[in-house]
Structures are given as structure tokens and as C-alpha cells.
Structure 1
């Protein structure tokens, strides 16, 4: 798509492309031949009149030997072109972070089956080059590559690889840990995530002290902080989780990382919602939308969280309105949206959206006693559960409890017990904050309204054995 006026980020790309082409002694026609495009496109790119086609920035970097500079301009948040000469960050960003008492790093335990070959992976783009498709170091050599980075806590140990290579390795490690810890329930991934995150922050601080903004380090630190916060939530540790989300927001803001800010705010909103504070939930939901109203995936998240906030506030009309707006924004997601939020694509995206809608409708039904709304919650949650990827066990458990609770709200305690009874022991043993909240809601409705139903009496008899 072209525009009559240069967009600032494209104009920056064009200026750098023109300078690098001239340094290489190439004409626009010669460069076009080398990268497989007509010279007229090169001319329009240099004039800032259009966005580079997907993958072209990486090929231009390769031909011109720019070390990823052009791809980094494309990957930078819109409206804030990447500039290597940006001033350093506020030193207060590197204040003490959660955790300590370093233990063995444990990178030798990374499952080779889960190791990505390229970035993006698990929604993580390269913090320097975005979505152009960066190769990652070999898994077997990664512990040695990161050895200097994870040196003694009383000093920064230096690095043994180039900056892009180290950032690629750290991103690949995080993608591998996400696949293992968040999706497959591998034990204690938080230890490795937080150890690497503290090392990454020390590296960023060392770079910052030289007068250079640690752009890639802070973008990646925001991603690590989000995963650390989510893993702490799985442990039932909301305070440490919120602390990590707060640090992540600070790092994302320092480098104007819009996608990281939007997703971190959504995690903060989820934690606030667990306290059933409608006003705070709505405030954070609106903050998500304010990050960038032009990004449809951001709008989708904002409307979903607003729907849940209005459900807590018993506002039927506004809850339903934001559900409609969320579905409308989700249906209009484009290529760029799905590059930034790949977890909203395909069946997984439908699962996430319907899960949030089901939660909002269930909360609304619980507040109003409306069984028609409860049946709509059943339908949305059942659709979400049907699209659940098999490895996401914790999410499957949460959706099962939510579906059971929706049936209880709809006046069918037998269906609720039939769904919840097989997973009761697993649910009770879970420390995950959202699962605990679903379980409390289900128990309150079953035992408070249907205690004399035979199936519920039998269910209640199991509770002492389950430790409730």
C-alpha cells in the first residue's frame, strides 16, 4: 500500500537504504536486480512512499552488508524509528529485580525437540530484526555462548558472542521454555527464566552505562519479564508476578515496544480481575486500548477485558456491546496483526477469544441469575474448549471448570458435576491463580444453590478427601 506522504518509519528506512546503496556503489537498478525487484520499487522505498515487502529488508541487509540495520528499522515500533544513536535509558530501570540466590542455570535440560530453528518462535520475534526470519544458534552450543553472561552476580561477566548472536540465543531459550513450561507443564521453568532475566538486565545496564540505549536487551527483557510473571502466577504468587509485569512495562516503555506493552497490560488486567475489582479491571482494559487504537489485535484484547470488567460491574448492556466489538475486531485481524500477535491466529486465536467471552458471560450470569446468558456462556466456553491445543493442559483444566460453572449458572448442577468431578483432584492440587478462582466460584455456586441435589451431595463428600 502506498501513500502520498512519507510515513516517518518508512522515510527513515528510505534514508538509510539510499545511504547504504550509495556506499556500496550501486544504482537503484543494480540493487533491484540483486534483490529481485524492479528499480521503481527501490526508488519508492528510498522516497519513503511505501513499506518494504515482507522479507525484503533482510535481503537488502545481506546484499549491502548492513548487519541487520534495515531490518531493525522495519522491526521498530511504528511511529518510533529505530535509531542506534538514541540516548541511554533512565538508570532507575535497572533497580533491583525480584529473585536472587542464583542456582544452576539448567540449560542442559532444554528439550531439543522444543528448540526453534528460526525466529519468530512462540510469538517471539528477534528483538533487533523483528520478523525477518533470524536463524538461532545450535542448542548444544548455547550454554557455552551464554556462560559469560550468566557469570557471578557481583559483576557483569561479559559475553562470548556477538550481540545479535547472544540475543538470538536468549530468544530461542525463552521460546523453548515457553513451550515446555507454559504449554506442557514442565516443572520449575521459572528458575531458569528468572536467572537469565537477571543476567539480561545486568547486560542491559552495562550497555546503558556506555551511553548507548540497550534497545534489543530491553525489548527481550520485557518478554522475559512477562513469562516470569505468568510462571509466578502458575505458582500462585501474585505479588511477584505483578512485580515482574511492572518491570516489563518499564522496559517496554523505554524502547517504545507497543506489542509488549499491550500484552503486559493484559496480564496486569487479568491479575486485577481476580480481585473482582470492576473499576480497576476497566481502567486497565481501557489502558490496553489506548496503547495503539489502530492495531486491531490490541482493540480485540481491550474489548475482551472491558467485557469482563463490565460483567463484574453487572452492566449487561456494556458487557454485551464489548463482546460484539471484540468479535468484530477479531474477525478483521490482518497480516500485520498476526505477525505481532500470532497467538490470535487460527484455532488457538478462536480458543482465546471464546474463552474470554465465555468468562464474561459466566460472570454476568452469576451476577444477574439470567439462565439465557448462562447458556450463552456454556456455548462460548464449549467452543473454546473444542479448539484447545492438546499440550495446553492448564488451560484445558481452567476451561473445564469454567464450563462446569456455566452449567451450574444455567440451572443444571448434574452437568456441572459430571464435568468437574473427573478433574477435581488435579484442580485442587493446582496453585495456578486463575484455576483457583474458577474452582472457588464453582464450589460456591454448587454448594450454595444445589447442595441437596444427589449429584452435588456426592460431589461434596469428595471435598474433604481432596483437602478442601
Structure 2
């Protein structure tokens, strides 16, 4: 674009923005309300009114219609001016649209259970990628399939073809599909098909965002939704012990979130990255990421609470009692002061379920502190917090209940009561030994190593060992302990 054409285009955008602001105010609408009516985020309306971007033609027509301007806004842009040649790239991050491994799409997403399909967003902590937590109706499964031209092969091309006048509906439907996949995970651990579906849809979303970007339009909704798919994809890989692939997915989600300044997504992705670096025994990096969660936005108390919980866990692993306790206290204070915005953005921290997650995370930190320092008073406090958390687990969170039962047994072992630990562990040994969940295996290995190493001669532990062998368990080295992301974070697979 030449300097003259840029000035002409900028002048037209500025005049368009002034007319738009005047018409919006005359209609008595806020930027948020107008954005909802035309299917765009309010930040787009703000940029248009400020003259900071070229108005897309389709949006201009919708604005004229909604504001009943008689075509005034379109007329402003129809004035003669130089037209830029070639696409205008709003986003030029080479990592953002880098090809992800695998095919660009998925061969069908199956037939989600209609009873699990959400009617509105947010659902399972997933906000609408266009309208945030305002509350959006979603198309049903059949309508989503029709928008895509059928679910047999969802690709970037099918996404683009399905958006002729229906981009908000498609983004709403794909968010609902992700929520449905999460809910299916509550019933049973994720299988290969669910992993493939989430990965494939993530790749298709990234390609779709790239195509939208190439037209000169910011792919706001596509990138926000891609960040959500990337986080779920990473958690699925993390559950399977595939740390490197999980980190790649989280990293890509972070790029998407940063490109559209999605603070909640950035905070939760960083919290998952805390988990992964701990798997590698990198406590220093874990503490860095944990501090980063709180630094995303110091005004959001839920982020400060989450940051405190992860830092408490990191300092516990490092054996720093004072810092561990300080961050537990910080997390509790912030949790007690969560406001409406906090609970809209992090609904999994609300009410009894939020209390359960807090107690779980605190119990995990205190147990790890007892392991690192030999402090039995910390272990007894871990017993109290974990028992309280276990009592608050909803019935559908089966994996979380199993994990917490193992942790409670381990806390008893750390507190010097191997008989109580062995008795509690025996109640769930069959399920724990047969579980394919990476976290369950890690908890079981830690408990098994402690019981059979220090107290192998007492009768209760001998009975535990017999039960362990009869369940098909194999003696394995202690693997350490994982942060309880199933109980802290936004989602819990197979719980």
C-alpha cells in the first residue's frame, strides 16, 4: 500500500468509525451489545469506532441493518480510494500458524450423547470465543453437522465453507462439541478416538484462523477457540504421560491466547505447564510458571489463588516450609474473596466444588512437604485437608475420588500410621492397579514405595502386599508426585 492509499484508507476508516459511534449511541447500545447483535467481539467494534482497522464488508452490511442507517455506513466506504493489493495480515507470528503434526482435520467426530450437549455457553468452563461469559445459545448437533456439510470430514475447508453468514453459530457449535467431549470424559477415561478428534479439530481451527487472517480479518474467535482445544489436547496427552507432546499443545495454545489477549486462557495454560515441568523434576521452572499465572492480571483473584496453590506445591517439593505455608495462606485469602467476574471466568472454583478443589490442592502440597521434610505435623494437616476434599467429590468424578483416596492413604503413611494407610489403600487397589491414568499410577507408586520400604514387616502392610499382587500390581520405583491438576484446573478427564 502506498503512502497516499494508506492515508485515503485511514481517512475512510476514521469517518466510518465516527459515523458508527454516532449511530450506536443514538440507538442506545453499548459496544458489547452491538457486538452481540452482529456476531463480533466488542473489541472489534471498539477498533472500528477508533478507525484502527478496515471494516469487513459483511460486517458493514450487518451494522447498517441493525442500526437502520439506510446504508449510510456502506456509503462512507464506497467513496473512491486506492484499494490495497494482496492480503493484509493482521497477525504475522510464524509460530501461530505453523503446521501441527497430523492431518488437517478429523474423519468425523462421532455422535455425541444428546444428554451431554450443552444448551448454552459457558459450559464446563468454556466461554464463548466471541462473546465471553455473556451467555450464548448453541446450535444442536444436527445444526452443527449441517453447517459443516456433514461430520464425515471436518477440515479447514469445511469450516470456511460452513461460515457463509453463520460464523458465530459454527464457533458456538464447536465450543459446545468440546464441552460435550469433556463431559464424555467424566464417564470414562479418554480413548484414542477422543484424542484424535480433539487434535484434528485443533489443526482444522488453526488452518481456518490462518485463512481468515489472510483476508485481512482478525481471526479472533477462531484463535480463542483454538486455545481451548489446545489446552484440552494437551491435558489428554498429559494424562497419557506424553509430556513432550502435551507441552507442544500447551505452547501453541499460549500463542493463540496471547495473539487475542485472552487472559483466562493464558492463566490456565500456564498452570498446566506448571504440571508438566514438575513431571520433569524441574521445580525452578514450575515456580516461574506458577508466578506467571498470578502476573497475567493482578486484579483477578482467581488467578492469584491458582498461582498461590501452584507455588505452594513447588515450594513443598523444594522442602521450603515457610514459603509453602505462606502461599497456602495467600491462596486461601484470595479464594475467600472471589467476586462475580472471577466465578464467571473460573466457575470450577465456585461453591462446594471450588472448596473441594482447594482442599485437594492444599492437601497435595502438605503431603509433598511432609515427604520432603519428614514433618509429620504437615502430614497430619494433609490428612485433614485431603479427607475433607475426598468427602466433597461429586459422584461423577470417579478418577478424582480414586486419586484422592490414594493420596489420603499416602498422607496417613507420611503421618506415621501405616496401618490406616494400608487399610485405605486396600479398598481401591483393584481400580488403582487397573487404571491407565498416569496420575493414578504415580500416586500408587509413591504410596507403594513408602509402605513396602519402611513398614514391610507389619501385618497390615503384608496384607496390602498380598492384595496388591492378587490385583496384578507390579512393583515399580517411586515416581514422585504430580500436581493435582485434575482438582485445581478447569477440566478433569475421566473423573
| Short-chain TM bin | 0.7 to 0.9
Give the superposition deviation at 1:272: 1.6
1:117 to 91, 116, 119: 119
Quote the residue 1:409 is aligned against. Answer: 414
Give the superposition deviation at 1:148: 7.3
- Are residue 96 (structure 1) and residue 99 (structure 2) matched? yes
Q: Tell me if the contact between 2:95 and 2:255 (Cα under 8 Å) persists in the aligned partners.
A: no
Quote the residue 1:199 is aligned against. Answer: 204
Superposition map of 1:291-306 within 5 A:
291-306=296-311
Equivalent-residue separation in structure 2 for 1:166 and 1:457 (angstroms) = 58
| Larger radius of gyration between Structure 1 and Structure 2 | 2
Quote the residue 2:480 is aligned against. Answer: none
* Partner SS for 2:141: coil
1:253 to 255, 258, 266: 258
Equivalent-residue separation in structure 2 for 1:266 and 1:18 (angstroms) = 42
How high is the TM-score relative to the length of structure 1? 0.82
Give the superposition deviation at 1:453: 1.2
Equivalent-residue separation in structure 2 for 1:67 and 1:158 (angstroms) = 16
Comparing 432-441 with 250-259, which one deviates more in the overlay?
Answer: 432-441
Relative distance call for 1:148 and 1:91 in structure 2 (3 A) is farther
Quote the residue 1:172 is aligned against. Answer: 176
Equivalent-residue separation in structure 1 for 2:464 and 2:440 (angstroms) = 18
Equivalent-residue separation in structure 2 for 1:183 and 1:98 (angstroms) = 29
How high is the TM-score relative to the length of structure 2? 0.78
Comparing 338-347 with 148-157, which one deviates more in the overlay?
Answer: 148-157
- Are residue 467 (structure 1) and residue 473 (structure 2) matched? yes
Equivalent-residue separation in structure 1 for 2:456 and 2:153 (angstroms) = 58
Quote the residue 2:432 is aligned against. Answer: 427
Q: Tell me if the contact between 1:107 and 1:143 (Cα under 8 Å) persists in the aligned partners.
A: no
Give the superposition deviation at 1:391: 1.1
1:275 to 269, 277, 280: 280
Equivalent-residue separation in structure 2 for 1:295 and 1:183 (angstroms) = 32
Unpaired segments ≥5 residues, structure 1: 1-14, 33-41, 46-51, 77-81
1:377-409 deviations in Å (ceiling 9; x for gaps): 001111111111211111111111111100110
Q: Tell me if the contact between 2:154 and 2:201 (Cα under 8 Å) persists in the aligned partners.
A: no
Equivalent-residue separation in structure 2 for 1:193 and 1:84 (angstroms) = 34
Quote the residue 2:148 is aligned against. Answer: 146
2:371 to 348, 366, 374: 366
* Partner SS for 1:445: helix
Equivalent-residue separation in structure 2 for 1:84 and 1:125 (angstroms) = 27
Relative distance call for 1:103 and 1:210 in structure 2 (3 A) is closer
How many residues of Structure 1 are paired with residues of Structure 2 in the alignment? 420
* Partner SS for 1:212: coil
RMSD between aligned alpha carbons?
2.9
Relative distance call for 1:101 and 1:374 in structure 2 (3 A) is same
Equivalent-residue separation in structure 1 for 2:40 and 2:369 (angstroms) = 50
1:136 to 132, 135, 138: 138
Q: Tell me if the contact between 2:107 and 2:153 (Cα under 8 Å) persists in the aligned partners.
A: no
Give the superposition deviation at 1:87: 2.0
Quote the residue 1:230 is aligned against. Answer: 235
Give the superposition deviation at 1:157: 6.4
Equivalent-residue separation in structure 1 for 2:104 and 2:430 (angstroms) = 33
Relative distance call for 1:351 and 1:18 in structure 2 (3 A) is farther
1:263-303 deviations in Å (ceiling 9; x for gaps): 00101101222333321221111111221122111100111
Q: Tell me if the contact between 1:184 and 1:392 (Cα under 8 Å) persists in the aligned partners.
A: no
Q: Tell me if the contact between 1:72 and 1:130 (Cα under 8 Å) persists in the aligned partners.
A: no
Unpaired segments ≥5 residues, structure 2: 1-14, 56-88, 475-495
Equivalent-residue separation in structure 2 for 1:287 and 1:154 (angstroms) = 33
Give the superposition deviation at 1:198: 1.4
- Are residue 319 (structure 1) and residue 324 (structure 2) matched? yes
- Are residue 400 (structure 1) and residue 405 (structure 2) matched? yes
- Bigger RCO of structures 1 and 2 (CA < 8 A, at least 6 apart): 2
